[in-house]
Structure 1
Amino acid sequence: MKRLLYILLVLAPISLFGKIAQQNVESLFQAANKYYTEGNYSEAIKHYEAIISTGKTSAELYFNLGNAYFKLNDIAHAILNYERAYLLNPADDDIAFNLELARAYTTDKIEAIPDFFVVKWYKSISNILSSNAWAFLAISFFVLSLILLVIYQFSGKYLIKKNAFITSWITLLLFIVSLSFSISQKNRIINSNHAIITTSAISAKSSPSDNSNDLFILHAGTKIETLRNVGDWCEIRIADGNKGWLPKSAFERI
């Protein structure tokens, strides 16, 4: 009895603090939206970023933050947050539209190397849903497959057994495909190695040194891929395949 009371006394403050933290996040989000509606975009940004600093993130939060930066004509940070929102929910048409709109305001127009058609096809299908949505679909197919196998096992009618067996294998295949897309999306989020240039203009260097040769100039809002770090420098690759070195202070990771 004493042990149970001790556990309850320990868990009660944790639960209480969790509720308070959630209420604080909700109040910050409501305040941020209010500031945005009133046109006070700087205050809206402060409140959205205060929420992110607590560890709470969502596609909606990054989308709203991107909108606030866009209103202040900070295209680089608008793109950065639209990219973060798109990473979490690639199926959202509003996020995709605003991201493309913001990209239209960037200086650098780099022609990307096209993906192999199979890779392009795989990405286009996996982007139909978010990682969580694919995971939910995978679980649904798995449960349905189990139900069909039970029907196959216990049904006394040949036609029902046959249809249940065939359909169970189809749903099992759909489970594997959905799970694959979910894992792929989750890995993109966890292992994202892309970033956005946030300084107005920066020269990519031939080596990690200020004294090395200039290779090309990148401007705010351009998306890059980070490859490896050497001290305060990072080797990067742009969409057309060209590589160079940039100081880490020149960009923010998605």
Structure 2
Amino acid sequence: MLKTIVKHLLFCCLFILLCQPALPGNPAADLVKQGNDAYAGADYAKAAQLYEQALAQGVESAALYYNLGNAYYRQQKTAFSILNYERALKLQPHNKAAQNNLQLAKERIANPIDELPEVFYRRWWAAVLGILPSGIWAGGAVLFLWLSAGLGILFFLSATAKQKKYSFAGAVSCLVLAVLLHVFAYNRHQNETAKNYAVIMQPAANLKKGPSDSSESTAELPEGAKVRTNERVNGWVRITLTDNREGWVNEQNLTTI
């Protein structure tokens, strides 16, 4: 009787699957494919346009930003290529191809701003966080939390002192790892969603002492320079340069990474 019921259920499931209408193709994926074909055919302007359309439809990946950066690089659009390589590295910090191409693009910047070396522990911390995306760090935290709970239950059910000792040690170790991975997940998520860096997109943007056109100019910023954004006031953004100088720039001159 049970076998007959199972057979009928399997038959019904198979019938439903076979009767389903064909799902339409993913328009965004089609745009990416068309962009790849255009790039392969050396039509870099069309490739960039198609990649931008895919992004506008909600598709976001390190590979797509990397391809878009390449398309702009081929068109000699340095600032746009840097912006998209930076966005690719924001999602995938250890992407060697994006790192290398970003460096090549930066070499095209006229009068680049000096970059002060980053403190070693910040560089180490960023490297560790970038190993995995936030979702995987979070999944690991949940896994070790469940393991800790299971070992905790085993501790109370253990009959011998030796079993209690090992289950308690395991539960504490898993709990510590769960907390650590949660910290990694939280900080990685903050990095993935942060909007505190931007790229200067206009040539010869003026760095001002205050948030107004009438304020004194202190420097001329090169197109393609990466800056850290701070507060915003009436269409002006207070920024910090890679050499730690600060000032104000019109928000129309930059695009957030």
TM-score w.r.t. the length of structure 1 is 0.83
Change (3 A) 1:152 1:113: same
State the superposition RMSD in angstroms: 2.2
* Partner secondary structure for residue 94 of structure 1: helix
Tell me if structure 1 keeps the 8 A contact 2:240–2:246: yes
Change (3 A) 1:92 1:159: farther
* Partner secondary structure for residue 98 of structure 1: helix
> 2:161 and 2:103 mapped to 1: Cα distance?
55
- Runs of 5+ unmatched residues, structure 1: 1-15
Tell me if structure 1 keeps the 8 A contact 2:116–2:243: yes
How far residue 128 of structure 1 moved from its aligned partner, in angstroms, is 2.1
Amino acid at match of 1:51: A
Q: Which digits, 9 at most, give the CA deviation of each residue in 1:97-142, with x for residues without a partner? A: 3323322332313132633x54443323212222222122222222
Report the counterpart of residue 159 of structure 1 in structure 2. 162
Report the counterpart of residue 81 of structure 2 in structure 1. 78
Correspondence 1:68 to 2:71: yes
How far residue 246 of structure 1 moved from its aligned partner, in angstroms, is 1.1
Report the counterpart of residue 114 of structure 1 in structure 2. 118
TM-score w.r.t. the length of structure 2 is 0.82
* Partner secondary structure for residue 241 of structure 1: coil
Residue identity over aligned pairs, in percent, reads 31
1:178-217 alignment runs, 5 A limit: 178-217=181-220
Report the counterpart of residue 126 of structure 1 in structure 2. 129
> 1:43 and 1:90 mapped to 2: Cα distance?
27
Amino acid at match of 1:112: L
Tell me if structure 1 keeps the 8 A contact 2:197–2:256: yes
* Partner secondary structure for residue 238 of structure 2: strand
> 1:84 and 1:240 mapped to 2: Cα distance?
21
Segment drifting more, 150-159 vs 227-236: 150-159
How far residue 157 of structure 1 moved from its aligned partner, in angstroms, is 4.2
How far residue 50 of structure 1 moved from its aligned partner, in angstroms, is 0.6
Change (3 A) 1:157 1:80: same
Amino acid at match of 1:104: E
> 1:160 and 1:101 mapped to 2: Cα distance?
59
Amino acid at match of 2:61: S
Change (3 A) 1:145 1:76: same
